[in-house]
């Protein structure tokens, strides 16, 4: 049996021209509120409120962030701020006490060698300083590279051998 698999299930149907039902609802509600305010408010106040309503309804209808529509993001934000948070605290078994030792910078750096001594050692010593000078890890260091020859054919058809050099 062959079954037809639905395609484009995440895309909403266009109901009113190029608008989905939700987009049309946001714009229609803003238009209805603006229409009602036209008869109630002064003209200059109606213009300002209508500008806010239009921009809000356009934002709710068309703005998407990371593929999520703006009303869904606003709903999740209100839910995050108003829902109680769940904090899980697990009691540890046994009493563990510790002591905090505070030390000054002078005490902290007292065990470190002085910079003047390190600089003098770097400039004058012949012995390697531990953990500073490590052996080089180049396997072919100081060795001659092996010579390889490759036979190739010229455009004229002659065979010729050429030395191949790999710089690795």
Closest by CA position to 57, among listed 88, 86, 93, 33:
33
Which pLDDT score is estimated for 53?
96
Which pLDDT score is estimated for 131?
59
- Output the pTM of the full model: 0.47
Which pLDDT score is estimated for 32?
97
Angle at which helix 21-40 crosses helix 43-62, to 10 degrees, equals: 170
Which pLDDT score is estimated for 75?
95
Cβ-contact 160, 151 below 8 angstroms = yes
CA distance linking residue 51 with residue 55, whole number of Å: 6
Between CA 19 and CA 26, with CA 20 as vertex, the angle to 5 degrees is: 85
- Domains of the chain, by residue range, sit at 14-80
CA distance linking residue 5 with residue 46, whole number of Å: 50
Closest by CA position to 152, among listed 144, 164, 141, 160:
160
Which pLDDT score is estimated for 13?
80
Which pLDDT score is estimated for 98?
61
Which pLDDT score is estimated for 146?
62
| Mean pLDDT per 10-residue interval, the chain, length 168 residues | 78 84 94 96 95 96 92 94 82 64 70 75 71 56 65 79 68
């Amino acid at each position: 049996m062959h079954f037809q698999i639905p395609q484009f299930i995440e895309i909403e149907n266009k109901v009113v021209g190029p608008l989905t039902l939700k987009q049309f609802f946001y714009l229609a509600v803003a238009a209805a509120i603006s229409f009602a305010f036209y008869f109630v408010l002064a003209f200059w106040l109606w213009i300002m409120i209508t500008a806010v309503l239009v921009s809000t309804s356009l934002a709710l209808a068309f703005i998407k962030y990371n593929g999520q529509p703006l009303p869904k993001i606003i709903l999740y934000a209100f839910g995050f701020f108003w829902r109680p948070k769940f904090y899980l605290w697990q009691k540890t078994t046994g009493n563990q006490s510790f002591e905090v030792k505070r030390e000054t910078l002078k005490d902290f750096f007292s065990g470190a060698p002085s910079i003047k001594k390190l600089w003098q050692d770097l400039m004058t010593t012949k012995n390697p300083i531990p953990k500073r000078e490590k052996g080089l890890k180049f396997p072919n260091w100081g060795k001659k590279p092996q010579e390889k020859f490759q036979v190739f054919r010229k455009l004229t058809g002659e065979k010729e051998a050429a030395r191949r050099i790999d710089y690795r």
